[in-house]
Structure 1
Amino acid sequence: MFRFLYFLLLFSACDSHVFIHPLSKLGVTETIRDIDPNIKVQADPTVLQSSGSWVTVTWKGVASPSGDDWIGVYEPASADPNASAPVKYQFANICSSHMTNGSGTVRFRLVNTRVDIAFKFLRNGTKFPILAAVSNVVTFKNPNEPTQVHLALTDSSSSMSVSWVSGMVSEPLVIWGTTPGHHPSVARASYRTYNVSHMCGAPASTVGWHEPGWLIQANMIQLKSGVKYYYKVGDKKYGWSLEFSFVAAPTPDGTQRTRLIAFGDMGNGQVDGSIQHWEEQPSLNTTANILSELDDTDLILHIGDISYAVGYAAEWDEFFDQIQPIASKIPYMVCMGNHELDFPVPSSLFSGQDSGGECGIPYVYRFAMPRPSLNEPWYGFSYGNIHFVLMSTEHEFRKGSPQYNFLVNELASVDRKTTPWLIFAGHRPMYIDSTDNGMPAGENPVAELLKDELESLLKEYSVDLALWAHHHSYQRTCPVYQKKCTPNALTHVVIGMGGQTLEVDRKPVTPKYFVKLEDKHHGYSKIEANATHLDFWYIMNDVKEPFDHFVLSK
């Protein structure tokens, strides 16, 4: 039975109509100020209790109302629309009364970004906006509320990393125990942040900048395998989070069962129907479906193109808010994609504009993966009977590079008795059905480079499964080596269907080594491995049914 999980209800006091997308980019620096004293904008309530609260915005007094009138959410409230992009926005004609009498009401859901907020009424469209009115200021009751809680595995199966964000810190802690409401174990947290000078270009360093708050991380240690723990994060001075729970990772053992969900290219969407700079509304379906399967899932693997903030920093807050119900309960493991790093800087293998000037800084500061260092975002880890090796396709990976040397050593170190399954993952795919031949960063040239530099290495160490993303589709090969279906070779799967716009640029003739392709649905993949068999499913979001299922055997 079809299950349509889209959260595109606009929760407005007025009748909704077909959603019309604005121009792709806001003309922030083209904005002029021309306040109309007749236009009144009111936001209620003025004090919000917690992150995720709703605000009702009402306006009236708009003469000659137009479909180009819109309401922007600006944080902080003092932000100049000529210098700062809104966090999100909505067209006033989402409310039918706007076009008839110049008044209306719309509701916004707000994430706590640690600053005050104002709603600003702009006219003349999004390319050359005119600021006409400003609402009263809205604040959060506790701007230092711990938010964006997410777990990650560490180098040890007896510990779990937890990260969160707060506006201020005094003595941040994580407290935990095996009984709800009782948290005898305590660990101090470390904290850090980054500032606009760390960004390497626009819009991250200009109109997209937003203060990230304090990024806090701690390790819960001496955990017992398979035991459920209850925990809270926060600060004695500034307040505590709700209580969350997780199950401690198992000690690697080849006889165990491991269950994970994997995908790439997800981003975030808005449950209030408002508009961001890039939109991945189908990601709401992906997260909702994953949430429904959480009790049967051990970890998440998100292989690149994480939030699609691309220089609009507040979207990182929105993304972590969206995944918190998942990532606060099971480890959320990631690797870097082009929209996290790529920019004309020495660290980037491909010098496009894909990161919007972020150059990997928000990604490495916000995700505490068990990597060698902040500047080396590649790593390996074990969970149950699987060892995972995650590379960065956005950094130099050719033979002799630091990353290549790491991959050689990591693959050579895997104990196939305790972790008989070996999964390799990176963002840009080694095998892809695509027409993108652009040099040097097109999908086909990069796929050839990956094959030239890494395919023999993966074969040498008998990698079982390779997961890729970047192309927004589902694609599976036969067991393949050097473009030929070969018994006992490596199966490659592209799983870039998490939320971004699907891509249908396949070749007129499908390469013979592809056995399954799907580019009409968003979705996610499920993997379950025991000692002898690894099952893989691709689940389509809108029907929540498998499009593909295959089994690897030992």
Structure 2
Amino acid sequence: MGRKGGLVCKNKKFEGTVSISVSPTVLSKSGDTVRIQWTGVDSPSDLDWLGIYSPPDSPDDLFIGYVFLSTDPAHLTSGSGSVSLPLPNLRANYTFRIFRWSKSEIDPTRLDHDHNPLPGTRHQLATSDAVGFSTGRRPEQVHLAFTDREDEMRVMFMTGDKEERLVRYGESEGELGSSAAALVERYEREDMCDEPANETAGWRDPGWIHSAVMKDLKKGLRYYYQMLVHLLLYRDYFDEPED
């Protein structure tokens, strides 16, 4: 679902017009993929790169990820190309920006986590429209975990609000006769132990964490469970261990 969006940008130092487009601009769930396309990069280089930004008003040097345009070999011959990227739901929109970087601008003291020089942001060529996630999303990051009791199973999931949720479960997919209320909690920027996570620029809204315990489970049986969030249903099952 969603639409295709793009923006054209002229850079006075580098002749020509660079355009960038993203499709789709509205994603359904965390991990969905967007396709970024660009054209019009003059004298393409293997140091031209694409910055990933969230939120969209982040300063140029606060990108959360980057990809060299030469990831698509067509870029080096035509100045055009595309790349597809999965996006996690950070509860904030994304934008993408194209930059030109030269070998003379490499700073060996600024390294990424792989100890490679971080690309420079002096020469921005284009920026994309915003990309976001649709409202009314299903639960995300669903996890199952044992408790300290053999007849229990904990299910945890994330949503964008703190409304109370019920987890329904049972031995038959069509008869979920038991239910468990989920406790709701979250953490704030002040709870983080170190920068940049506890700084304004590095903080990301974690959403709300829901945790429910399914009880009185019988060994060796398969159980089905479901959660309803904004009229979107999440269903799954698990097998209770025999021992």
What is the TM-score when the length of structure 2 is the normalising length?
Answer: 0.77
Q: Which structure: greater strand fraction?
A: 2
Q: 2:38 aligns with which of 56, 59, 84?
A: 59
Cα deviation for residue 215 of structure 1 reads 1.4
Distance 1:80 1:181, change over 3 A: farther
- Report the secondary structure of 2:75's partner residue: helix
- Alpha carbons of structure 1 residues 199 and 132: separation in structure 2 relative to 1, 3 Å: farther
1:164: which partner in 2? 157
Q: Which has the higher helix share?
A: 1
* Cα offset, 1:115, TM superposition: 2.7
**Distance in 1, Cα, partners of 2:174 & 2:23:** 34
Asked if the contact 2:28–2:137 (Cα under 8 Å) also holds between the matched residues in 1, the reply is no
In structure 2, relative to structure 1, the CA distance for the partners of 1:39 and 1:231 (3 Å cut) is same
Question: Does structure 1 retain, via aligned residues, the 8 Å contact 2:28–2:134?
Answer: yes
**Matching of residue 43 in structure 1 with residue 29 in structure 2:** no
Q: Give the Cα–Cα distance (whole angstroms) in 1 for the partners of residues 10 and 212 of structure 2.
A: 48
What is the CA distance between 1:92 and its match in structure 2? 0.4
Structure 1: gaps spanning 5 or more residues: 1-33, 251-383, 385-554
The 5-angstrom pairing of residues 38-437 of structure 1 reads 38-82=17-61, 84-86=62-64, 88-124=65-101, 126-130=118-122, 131-142=124-135, 144-206=137-199, 208-235=202-229, 237=230, 239-241=232-234, 243-250=235-242, 384=243
Structure 1 pair 69–208 and aligned structure 2 pair: CA distance change class (3 A):
farther
Distance 1:143 1:66, change over 3 A: farther
Q: What amino acid is the match of 1:116? A: N
For 2:66 and 2:231, how far apart are their aligned partners in 1?
A: 30
| CA apart distance, 1:35 | 7.2
Query: Aligned letter for 2:53?
Result: Y
Where do 5+ consecutive residues of structure 2 fail to align?
1-8, 107-117
1:71–1:121 CA contact under 8 A, matched in 2? yes
CA contact 1:35–1:132 (8 Å) conserved in 2: yes
Between the aligned partners of 1:44 and 1:233, the Cα distance in structure 2 is 30
Shift of 1:110: 2.1
Post-superposition Cα deviations, 1:487-539, rounded to whole Å, max 9, x if no partner, equal xxxxxxxxxxxxxxxxxxxxxxxxxxxxxxxxxxxxxxxxxxxxxxxxxxxxx
CA RMSD of aligned residues (A): 2.4
| Contact 1:169-1:238 within 8 A present in 2 as well | no
Query: 1:47: how far off?
Result: 1.9
Does the 8 Å contact 1:85/1:208 carry over to 2?
no
Q: Report if the CA contact (8 A) 2:95-2:129 is conserved.
A: yes
- Contact residue 144 and residue 168 of structure 1 kept, 8 A: no
Q: CA deviation at 1:238?
A: 6.0
Q: Which has the higher contact order (CA 8 A, sep 6+)?
A: 2
CA deviation after TM superposition for structure 1 residue 50, in Å: 2.7
Q: Distance in 2 between matches of 1:165 and 1:113?
A: 12
Matched residue of 2:220: which SS?
Answer: coil
Contact 1:153/1:159 (CA < 8 Å) preserved in 2? Answer: yes
| TM-superposed deviation, 1:152 | 0.9
| Cα gap change, 1:222 to 1:198, in 2 (>3 Å) | same
